[in-house]
Structure 1
Amino acid sequence: MIPVRIMCTREQIVEICKETARFYDQFAVFATLVATETVDSGQSKFPTGGRLTGNQLAATDH
């Protein structure tokens, strides 16, 4: 397993998993939602300050 962090919509992660499985000739690729909000020192480089918004948040409602 190679753990990675990624911020994208549900549709985007599904496509990333499909491409990863194809590229590495894998039977399956696993992705899981860890959190919808991050906590940091207040100096986040993300424009939303670590909070998911709009499409990103809607994609986590499944």
Structure 2
Amino acid sequence: MLSRRLFIAAALIAGLGPVTSVCAQQTVTVALDWTPNTNHVGLYVAQAKGFYAEAGLDVQILPYTDT
């Protein structure tokens, strides 16, 4: 009985380890609602620091266009 519990615990712990993905990055396009300003800083900082790439995203930030 103890070995069964130990096996289950080991399987659960192994499943919680880091996962590496071989999938291609998903492209996401974000269109700004206005000219770039302080409201959009988070988008640009995350892109510059590579946070999107770490999450498997290729984020394209489009500037505001008056259409």
Q: TM-score, normalised by structure 1?
A: 0.27
Higher-RCO chain (CA-CA 8 Å, sequence separation at least 6): 2
For normalisation by structure 2, the TM-score amounts to 0.26
Q: Which has the higher helix share?
A: 2
**Which structure has the highest strand share of the two?**
2
Q: Which has the larger radius of gyration?
A: 2
